[in-house]
Amino acid sequence: MFSLEGKTALVTGASGGIGSAIAYALARQGARLALSGSNSAKLRSFREQINEEVGGDHVEITCDLSNTTQVEELIPATVDTLGKIDILVNNAGVTRDNLAMRMKDDEWDAVMRINLEAAFRLMRAAARPMMKARHGRIVSITSVVGATGNPGQMNYAAAKAGLVGMSKSLAQELASRGITVNCVAPGFIRTAMTDQLPDAQKDALNARIPMGRMGEGEDIGAAVAYLASDEAAYVTGQTLHVNGGMAMMS
């Protein structure tokens, strides 16, 4: 069940905490991966690690998502390298947190360019070969704050909410071609960054979650693997919230 044998997938931000968990989840189900990120050394090390631990002939493609030219080249490079693209996972993202009254234009622009515009360009480019194949899966990683908002994250919340609306629109355009477009919205997920928080701050975060703990990267990887599978063929235009009950969406 949920086998991805014979499928290819591009994962952006693949060497990060959540990105690496997504990559492992897809690879363990049999997908061959194009791992993308901006840090070529970190990306190469991760590619060697996943090849060794999971097996398969995965590849890395360095891409700075703030660079429009590099973004436009990423899907063609993936198709050239893997032969096709079955699954696109828009995972990469940045934060430039600030209160609205203090937010600088470049803080707004950077988040929009990487978190929203780059995802749009990749979705548009991936749709072409997927339409030709009459099959495809596009999954974008949004956030609970895209639905609830968060002080100091006006730019980030707007970009993540924009991903949801963009995905719903594209889902309607591509549904007749056998292509699904969905989102996964993580809540608080334990990463190397959250591990460094003071215990008091972690306790305060956990107190906001009915399950009493942060999620793991593997929780997000499992959600993406499901949406990328044939079993999710009738699921499109949806957002799967993975947040331990912190925000219960209808």
| pLDDT tens, residue by residue, 201-247 | 888 889 999 999 999 999 999 999 999 999 999 999 999 999 999 99
Give the model's pLDDT for residue 222: 97
24 classed as catalytic: no
What percent of the chain stands above pLDDT 70? 100
The kind and range of the H/E element at 21 are helix 17-28
**Domains along the chain?**
8-242 (3.40.50.720)
What are the DSSP E strand ranges found in the chain? 8-12, 32-37, 59-62, 87-90, 136-141, 179-186, 239-242
Give the model's pLDDT for residue 238: 98
Mean pLDDT of the chain: 95
Q: 129: closest CA among 2, 3, 8? A: 8
Q: Are 39 and 236 in contact (CB under 8 A)?
A: no
Give the model's pLDDT for residue 204: 87
Give residue-wise pLDDT tens across range 128-171: 999 999 999 999 999 999 999 999 999 999 999 999 999 999 99
